[in-house]
Structure 1
Amino acid sequence: MEPAAAWVPCDFQLAPCWSVEPGDFQLANWAMEEQGAVWAPGLPVQESEFTDITGSCLQTSSPSSSRGGQLIAHAAATSHSDPIDKAAQELEVDFHDMQMTIHNSNHVNPIHVLEEVASEFKADIDMMKTKIHRYPASIRGLGELYTVPTTVAVGPYHHGQHHLKAAEKVKHVAAYHCIRESGCSVQEMYDAVVAVADDARRLYDKDVMAGIRYDDFRHMMFFDACFLVQYMLLHTSARVDPSLRSFFGSYANNIFHDTMLLENQLPWQVVEAVMRFRNVSLREFVGSLRGWLLERRDPDQKRFASDGDNYEPPHLLGLLRFCTVGRNTRKLPPIPQTESIPFSASAVELAEIGVTLTPSKTTELIRMRMKKKWTLFTKLSLAPLTLDNVRASCLVNMAALETCSIQSFSGAPDEDSAVCSYLLLLSTLVQKKEDVVELRQKRILQGRGLLTNNDDTLNFFTSLQNLRLGSCYVRIMEDVEDYKIHKQRRDKVKAFVYKNMKIIIAVITTIAAVVSILGMLMPRLKSR
């Protein structure tokens, strides 16, 4: 692990020049003078030197040293190669006599190298639910609308892309207001982020992180966390600076889209580090997310789940997924492992066989089920949806999160695969444009947010047919098939009755006449 370094934001050209004086923050030259040392984010600190680069006023002096307490000078971070890779390169395997030779004066035992690899592999598996995953191939193929941020980069995967650089300045403004509104010093809040940043680094893709210095990563985590905290505050009753509120309002759909991308996430412990200084009411924030699937939200949807207070999300997308899925109140047996479902049913086909599609009374995705009333009426209910590009992207990214973080859907709770189940069920129902019309008429698809036309909606749903089979989806499709089989039997009985109606009537009439005659004869026989 690299030692802590001076706070030098990666993209210092966009950083506003702020000055920090005891008890006061001014938007001019952000420098801090403590115990005879002056600190200025943006460049490494050199002793007694004044530097003017790209219009920024940066004053520097000699540093002091510590990891999390004082910010220290560090002109250039040294890049450390992976010790496992290095040791592995020092191993040579002779496949002729199956002997291993170590070209190392320290006589490294090859089993230790393999042990480290195995340990690292196990750690990766253990972190599956908290890692910041890359897109699986099935999702990445859907296109940039579902995978690439439009306005702001959060985390390292999309950091530095040209079309996202304008938002870097906004991050610095967000940091300024976070610090000022918290009443703490820059150093205190930054140290809190540094304390968790190095651990959070492990959650990102190792190949990406190999090209990012430790101090650069810490600065990225700090500014991104401040941005997200201010964005979350906007959705609560807390006061947010008018300039930030204006920016968030102008790019509301874009920012919501970007902050809910799988590859554009910040580990929750980093966000919490800033929230300890600038408190966010999670109950209010989560309440603002409820019912987001619909254009018109039901006020009752703002209730927070009873177990939500104890939920620790991996990141913001994970929190949205938790709010959207809901909790299953029914205890159902686990489904067996299955690779495919050999049967399907479109919306129009279900209508033809007597299954009525109905919107659930809630937008929680877990509430999808077949409901049988007597023997003649059956309903299939699922959450209603206002389908536009932003909502479509969020659903796809939540499905990608389930795909990457859950090793096996069979045996796992239904909630773990609810988004995949929901999207796969819709993709099964929508096979032709007539099915899209049927979903509209049945109020499953609502509002004005539908994709451009029926063709676009059809293309969206049919593109999702390669999603993994969620347990809720498997249960419903088995119920549908079971209903089809029983209906076929009932239809055969009906057809037999229809074709043989005259004979059946004649037989019934004959039986009735015999019964009537017997009824008349019985008293006479008894009297004898």
Structure 2
Amino acid sequence: MEPTAAWAPCEFQLANWSIEEPAAYLPVEYASIDIPGTCLEACVPEYYYYYAASQQHNVTSDQKAKISNDSDAQSVVDQVMGEFKADIDMMKAKMHRYPACLGDVDESYTLPRIVAIGPYHHGKEHLKQAEKVKHAAACHCVRQSGRSLEELYGAVVPMADHARHFYDKDVMAGINPEDFRHMMFFDACFLVQYMLSRAYTGDVDQSLNGFLSPNRIDIFHDVMLLENQLPWHVVETVIRLLRLPSLSKKFVARKRNCMLSDDRHEPPQQKPFIWYDSYKPPHLLGLLRYYIVGRSDIEYPKQEKKDKSYSLSAMELAKIGITLTANKTMQLIDMTLNQKGTLFAELSLAPLSLDRDRASFLVNMAALELCTVQSFSAARDGDSAVCSYLLLLAKLVYREEDVQELRVRGLLQGGGGLTNEEALRFFTSFQGLRFGPYYYRIMVQIQIYRESSRMKTKSFAFFHNHKKTIAAVVSGVVSVGGIIGTLLSIKKTL
């Protein structure tokens, strides 16, 4: 992160505007969220759930227990404990950094290519060209809103002030409040114009679309990065003022199948798109992940977890009579092991067209789950669905032949993506992920299937290991039968 001076001031000279300071202009670690009289309360009361977690005054009697006789020391202790609790309570709403547990993730999955959203990558040299585009996007937002520039910016200010809570404190310490407000305003306007361009509403200026359209793949990659996010209430403020109530819905409807090949033919069994007004995302990545994962129609009972070691490559599953297949719903959450008659079973997973962009989407959605879910077993099953999906695929591949088996079975689709070697390296890097309920449930089902039909699985294994020999013998028997039949027919004619 470069110093704030590296962030060029806007041509509009926003720093010279006279914006009435709300109470939230106080240092963020002491700011109260309940600010009577500000437009925050009047405009977006639904976002109070974001901020309630940052209250530091509602501590329990146990937390107020006396630790030191020195009042100053006790005050410091109370402050440290309060700030730490506030950070934990805001876990789902924060703008996270990449979790250390993901290890050495390839930079192509973590760094923006063309545009910085938020402060974490702001000021990097190769991203500065997009800053002028953001200013143009802001101009178009002002025109579409029918308001003055000062009015639109003024409506974003209180949202931006509260947004400081959700970013890394060390990063925010190097950015003054006014520069941060500008950043939030321009980034939000850019995201809204980008969403308009991808929702195909026809409301995007032709010159602005001249940048957004040819760079749409790189921009989408960037807005799906964990460290390149804007608090959603900032973006929704601009959407609301532009009177675009269905923009988010239209954008998500277009992008929810981003994990699939562009040349796919959607199967008729695909679930219809349903928009859930009750869901309040932390940011754009969270919003897209919610609909990419989908919602399950089945409520599974919680299972008691035991430490077990499982091995089930794609080739091993074939040996015991379990067939891999692509599900028809195309949702990551639909991971099932289905019994097919008395002899066979079918492991069904969402199909995936794996190139570097989609690999990046998976990495960032998994990183979001790891950052926001304290306990996979205690949370809803869908909260860790991406990690479960990735871990299942990681357990299926140990050799390039296993990756090829995924392609043959339709789990890996499309061309021009990662090679078998690259896909193997990608999947095996996730073998140490935390166990999600979906992953664990399928592992248990496979183990039960294996143990309940040992004789059957031995027969399948024998057939699988000797299928070439068996085929040759059968072919030989057929040939001998043909020869005997020919001799018998000749004998009859004699």
Same fold by TM-score, threshold 0.5 exceeded? yes
User: Is contact 2:28–2:165 with CA below 8 Å preserved after alignment?
Assistant: no
User: Is contact 2:320–2:458 with CA below 8 Å preserved after alignment?
Assistant: no
Structure 1 residue 181 displacement after superposition: 1.3
Deviations 1:21-62 (Å, cap 9, x if unpaired)?
A: xxxxxxxxx4xxxxxxxxx33xx55xxxxxxxxxxxxxxxxx
Aligned AA (1:207): D
Equivalent position SS for 2:442: helix
Equivalent position SS for 1:443: coil
Whose helix fraction is larger, Structure 1's or Structure 2's? 2
Larger displacement relative to structure 2 (153-162 or 308-317): 308-317
Residue 378 to residue 64, structure 1, CA distance change in 2 (3 Å): closer
Which of 300, 317, 322 is the aligned partner of 1:332?
300
For 1:273 and 1:110, how far apart are their aligned partners in 2? 42
Asked if 1:262 is matched to 2:226, the reply is: yes
For 2:141 and 2:271, how far apart are their aligned partners in 1? 27
Residue 476 to residue 100, structure 1, CA distance change in 2 (3 Å): closer
Aligned to 1:172: 135
User: Is contact 2:321–2:344 with CA below 8 Å preserved after alignment?
Assistant: yes
Aligned to 2:254: 288
Asked if 1:135 is matched to 2:101, the reply is: no
Which of 97, 109, 113 is the aligned partner of 1:150?
113
Aligned to 1:346: 313
User: Is contact 1:265–1:315 with CA below 8 Å preserved after alignment?
Assistant: yes
TM-score normalised by structure 2 residue count = 0.79
Equivalent position SS for 2:213: helix
Which structure has the higher relative contact order (CA within 8 Å, separation 6+)? Answer: 2
Aligned to 1:433: 400
TM-score normalised by structure 1 residue count = 0.74
Aligned to 1:474: 440
Residue 341 to residue 172, structure 1, CA distance change in 2 (3 Å): farther
User: Is contact 2:325–2:349 with CA below 8 Å preserved after alignment?
Assistant: yes
Structure 1 residue 140 displacement after superposition: 5.2
For 1:492 and 1:347, how far apart are their aligned partners in 2? 17
Equivalent position SS for 2:277: helix
Asked if 1:377 is matched to 2:341, the reply is: no
Structure 1 unaligned blocks of 5 or more: 1-8, 18-29, 31-39, 46-62, 70-76, 85-98, 103-107, 496-528
Structure 1 residue 206 displacement after superposition: 0.8
Aligned to 2:427: 461
Equivalent position SS for 1:370: strand
Residue 213 to residue 454, structure 1, CA distance change in 2 (3 Å): same
Aligned to 1:87: none
For 2:155 and 2:375, how far apart are their aligned partners in 1? 36
Q: Considering only CA atoms, is the larger Rg found in Structure 1 or Structure 2?
A: 1
User: Is contact 1:68–1:191 with CA below 8 Å preserved after alignment?
Assistant: no
Residue 494 to residue 265, structure 1, CA distance change in 2 (3 Å): closer
- What is the correspondence of 1:442-457 to structure 2 with a 5 Å cutoff? 442-451=409-418, 453-457=419-423
User: Is contact 2:98–2:227 with CA below 8 Å preserved after alignment?
Assistant: yes
Identical columns (%): 52
For 2:225 and 2:76, how far apart are their aligned partners in 1? 36
Asked if 1:273 is matched to 2:242, the reply is: no
Structure 2 unaligned blocks of 5 or more: 32-66, 462-494
Deviations 1:248-298 (Å, cap 9, x if unpaired)?
A: 221121111100000000000110111112225222111101222111352
Aligned to 1:192: 155
Structure 1 residue 64 displacement after superposition: 5.2
User: Is contact 2:337–2:347 with CA below 8 Å preserved after alignment?
Assistant: yes
Whose strand fraction is larger, Structure 1's or Structure 2's? 1
Equivalent position SS for 1:380: strand
Equivalent position SS for 1:109: helix
- What is the correspondence of 1:35-50 to structure 2 with a 5 Å cutoff? 40-41=13-14, 45=16
Aligned AA (1:262): L
Aligned to 1:524: none
Aligned to 2:205: 241
User: Is contact 1:154–1:259 with CA below 8 Å preserved after alignment?
Assistant: yes
Aligned to 1:252: 216
Structure 1 residue 113 displacement after superposition: 2.0
Aligned AA (2:281): P
User: Is contact 2:230–2:284 with CA below 8 Å preserved after alignment?
Assistant: yes
Structure 1 residue 110 displacement after superposition: 2.3
Structure 1 residue 198 displacement after superposition: 1.3
